[in-house]
Amino acid sequence: MITLVEPKETTTLEDYGAHSHLASAVRDLRNEAAEVRRHINGRSILMVNSTSQGGGVAEMLPKMMGILKELGIKTRWAVMGSDDPAFFRLTKRLHNMIHGDGGGNCQFKDEDRRLFEYTGESNVDALRNILAPDDLLVIHDPQPLAMGAKLKKQLNLPAVWRCHIGLDEKHPSTEAAWEFLKPYIQVFDHNIFSADEYVPDYVRDRASIIYPAIDPLSYKNRTIRAEELTSILCNAGLGRLANPNLADPFPEPAQRLQPDGTFGPADSPDRIGFLYRPTITQISRWDRLKGWKPLLEGFIRIKEGLNGESNSGDERYRCRAEMLRLIMVGPDPASIQDDPEGCEVLNDLCATYTRLDPAIQKDVALLTLPMSSRKNNALMVNAIQTVSSIVVQNSIREGFGLTLTEAMWKGTPVVGSSACGLRQQIEDRIHGRVVRCPEDPAEVAQVLGDVISADGELNLWSCNARTRVQQEFLVFSQVKKWLRILKRFKTMSAPIDLYSDKVGAYSSVGHLDRTERVHYPSH
């Protein structure tokens, strides 16, 4: 089942160029693209992934495609789906195993491979009919990998696999997952990863690094004025109208978990208090690897610590901690087709919430955001990240973590874990704080407590974080690196000379980016 997606992008390069802090990046892109267009000779790029909404890939593709098209490079987007839930259970298992979470089972059966290949190959004909022989095929993540490998073999067209996930350590489940995917990955001409540490040994000679990125003028990341901020919160059901509001309420507001385990209005049983209470917020998919449980347990420790002697002499800390609220935010899981675990994780969190002591429960809000309107969803996320006191990403494993990037861009103080993807972005006490062991509630509580106590440092960390995003993680940097990849494909006819002038284990494509990257050690 293949669906062609036509993103509606209204922001142009001229719009970006009108902002003085973005103008130089736009000029660089135009200059680089002029040379690339001569190399690719009018050929088209087809991007393929497994969902059009939810997750970082679906977030990034529309803007990246829009910019490439405006630069004169034809780009299309296809989504590979499946009516068989077993396929997405298998790919979710692969996702977890690549992140080192095999659930005690690192073995694959013959029927797993048959299912993976059958689902992929059943979509081959639909794409083969829209591809020209010299088009560039770009496959994102494992779900469409078998399909991409089959198309590459049949058409001998140039093909790139873009992997957005990985693990920075050796692990039996990770090794088993990479071994399962090896026959398909090796078919591709080139492979792109989000961190050096993620690259499997068997493709190190044909891999390069491109960081994920955000769009600074999107509904999710643009600057929101005070009156617009309060309007969005009220229209999303996250606040109550005390005065007339110019805009109408969203057709589908945010939903909040109630003490009885059902979902209801977000301002019930009381107001969340975004505008006047200190809040710790995590926004992510409902995924076990996002560290939801340790984050909740760490928050509970902060609250329980108020009854002991700890911090008893710091009245300001005590006042903040007493008012502090934890906000856990994720999408309506039914709207994310390729994440079958979402409902299970959310149900588990809901059960944990209903068992909390009422005194703790009143300071925890679990929200689901509708996905039916991308614009409204993005505005909700923007408002929540902007108004939160601290944005946390307590991931046990994280491919990159754009939710942290988004908060850094907004100047909101951030706390990230030591997961490899987050380590690419922040250094402890430079851009925010880092939790070394995100599965340890005691450390989570300690780091969050330190941030609650911090004053002058918060502004410095936030300023550094925004600068870091501007330099490395805006869409212009991402597109520029894609342009360099495309330029190496010359006329985009196979075979492709990507690997001349190798430096170390990486091709010259990877080396081109290597001097531009800054890697922070784990602490």
Res 490: pLDDT: 59
Question: Residue holding tokens 């970082």?
Answer: 56
Phi/psi of residue 479, nearest 5 degrees: -65, -40
C-alpha–C-alpha distance, residues 16 and 299, integer Å: 40
Count the Cβ atoms, other than its own, within 10 Å of residue 148.
Answer: 28
- CATH 3.40.50.2000 boundaries in the chain: 2-213+475-514, 232-472
The structure's pTM equals: 0.85
Options 3.40.50.2000, 3.40.50.1000, 1.10.10.10, 1.10.132.10; which CATH number does 232-472 get? 3.40.50.2000
Assess contact for 48 and 137: CB atoms under 8 A: yes
Helix (H, G, I), strand (E, B), or coil: what is residue 65? helix
- The torsion region of residue 218 among left (phi > 0), alpha (psi -120 to 50) and beta comes to beta
Structure tokens at 11: 């922001």
The residues with which 368 forms a beta bridge, in sequence order, are: 255, 330
Q: What is the pLDDT along the chain (523 residues), one digit of tens a residue?
A: 899 998 887 899 999 999 999 999 999 999 999 988 888 877 899 999 998 877 778 888 999 999 999 999 999 999 998 989 999 999 999 999 999 887 778 899 999 999 999 999 999 999 998 898 889 999 999 999 999 999 999 999 999 999 999 999 889 999 999 999 999 999 999 999 999 999 999 999 999 999 999 999 999 999 999 999 999 999 999 987 666 677 789 999 999 999 999 999 999 999 999 989 999 999 999 999 999 999 999 999 999 998 865 544 588 899 999 999 999 999 987 776 657 788 899 999 999 999 999 999 999 999 999 999 989 999 999 999 999 999 999 999 998 999 999 999 999 999 999 999 999 999 999 999 999 999 999 999 999 999 999 988 999 999 999 999 999 999 999 999 999 888 887 544 444 444 333 323 333 333 333 323 333 333 3
Assess contact for 514 and 506: CB atoms under 8 A: yes
Question: Residue holding tokens 């990998």?
Answer: 145
Q: What DSSP line would sit under 173-188, residue for residue?
A: HHHHHHHHHHHHHTTS
Q: What share of the chain is helix, strand, coil (3-state, %, to 5)?
A: 45, 15, 40
Res 38: pLDDT: 83
DSSP 493: P
Structure tokens at 221: 């990341």
Assess contact for 190 and 208: CB atoms under 8 A: yes
Strands 75-80 and 2-5: antiparallel
Phi/psi of residue 4, nearest 5 degrees: -85, 130
Assess contact for 158 and 494: CB atoms under 8 A: yes
Res 313: pLDDT: 58
Q: Homologous superfamily of 2-213+475-514 in CATH?
A: Glycogen Phosphorylase B; (3.40.50.2000)
C-alpha–C-alpha distance, residues 24 and 30, integer Å: 10
